[in-house]
A and B are shown apart, each in its own frame.
Chain A
């Protein structure tokens, strides 16, 4: 009768081995994952996220557009609010990520009085031109990321973030 039953000790051995194997594979994982910029990961679910911004109301002056999406990190599920700076360049819609390429603060358009036509990072004075190009001599080392955009029913949809294509 007891033959077919898994003894307590056996059971513990099984489970511990299971955990051990799992941990071994866990050691390889981080190295792969770190290669992906978390900013780029955000939209990586692939789909476009709708915003409440009407495309017809966009002008050449960058405006802030907010959007929300669900994010699951481990067991911690949260609704994340993202932001983009959006403007029109001729017929093209440009949406830039507000995440500073230095250490990740949120940049604002025209918030520095001395540079009213630039994005400004309040953390260490990083600056970017309107197309996202970082101003040399300020801490950021690269241009602001860009979002894929599309228009649907007159509204702006934002896709995955990608390296800046305008600079």
Chain B
């Protein structure tokens, strides 16, 4: 499901089935090269999560991306985010990020790090197969957790 009014209506009726939240973490770079890098990584992550949502529409809710800045206090953001998502009725929460610091330092427990691949020079076909490959690597992580309980 997407974070839209129509999907939300369905979610509110079927929340026992749609038990998983997916949260893209997007870093906003603020000087020249950092901006380009951040744009490229955001493009990749948004494409990837859209594809994931398409495959698993009936099981997961794709939240709007949570955005942070270079100077953000990651530990504080993480605890705020985790606390408010814990208030939502999701059984499983996955944070998807292209920024290794989130997963490496264990700031967010369920962060899945995916290396960013620049999509801007790819044609549609290649782009799609690259994204499919990436999603195929994430699926086992999801299903392991789903079958775990």
Chain A residues in contact with chain B, CB under 8 A?
Answer: 34, 66, 68, 79, 81, 100, 102-106, 121-124, 139
Check A100/B58 contact, CB under 8 A, given A122-B143, A123-B17: yes
Q: Residues of A contacting B124 with CB < 8 Å?
A: 68, 79, 81
Quote the shortest CB–CB distance from B19 to chain A (angstroms): 10
B59's nearest neighbour on chain A, judged by CB, is A123
Q: Is the CB of B56 within 8 A of A123?
A: yes
Quote the shortest CB–CB distance from A101 to chain B (angstroms): 10
* 7 closest A-B pairs by CB: A103-B58, A123-B59, A104-B57, A105-B58, A123-B58, A106-B55, A104-B58
Query: Contact string, B1-39, partner A, CB cutoff 8 A, digits 1/0?
Result: 000001000100010011000000000000000000000
| B interface bracket (residues with beta carbon within 8 Å of A) | 10 to 19
Quote the shortest CB–CB distance from B17 to chain A (angstroms): 6
Quote the shortest CB–CB distance from A72 to chain B (angstroms): 16
Some 26 contacts from A to B, beta carbons below 8 A apart, are A34-B6, A66-B128, A68-B124, A79-B124, A81-B124, A102-B58, A103-B10, A103-B14, A103-B17, A103-B58, A103-B59, A105-B55, A105-B57, A105-B58, A106-B54, A106-B55, A106-B56, A106-B57, A122-B143, A123-B56, A123-B58, A123-B59, A124-B17, A124-B58, A124-B59, A139-B17
A102's nearest neighbour on chain B, judged by CB, is B58
Q: Residues of B contacting A79 with CB < 8 Å?
A: 124
How many A-B pairs have beta carbons closer than 8 Å: the answer is 41
Q: Residues of B contacting A81 with CB < 8 Å?
A: 124, 128
A123's nearest neighbour on chain B, judged by CB, is B59
A121's nearest neighbour on chain B, judged by CB, is B58
A68's nearest neighbour on chain B, judged by CB, is B124
Quote the shortest CB–CB distance from A116 to chain B (angstroms): 19
Query: Contact string, B131-142, partner A, CB cutoff 8 A, digits 1/0?
Result: 000000001000
A100–B55 CA distance with the chains assembled, in angstroms: 10
A34–B139 CA distance with the chains assembled, in angstroms: 32
Q: Residues of A contacting B58 with CB < 8 Å?
A: 100, 102-105, 121, 123-124
- Residues 32 to 66 of chain B near chain A (Cβ within 8 Å): 54-59
A66–B143 CA distance with the chains assembled, in angstroms: 25
Q: Residues of A contacting B59 with CB < 8 Å?
A: 103, 105, 122-124
Q: Residues of B contacting A102 with CB < 8 Å?
A: 17, 58
B50's nearest neighbour on chain A, judged by CB, is A78
Q: Residues of B contacting A105 with CB < 8 Å?
A: 55-59
Quote the shortest CB–CB distance from B132 to chain A (angstroms): 10
Q: Residues of B contacting A106 with CB < 8 Å?
A: 54-57
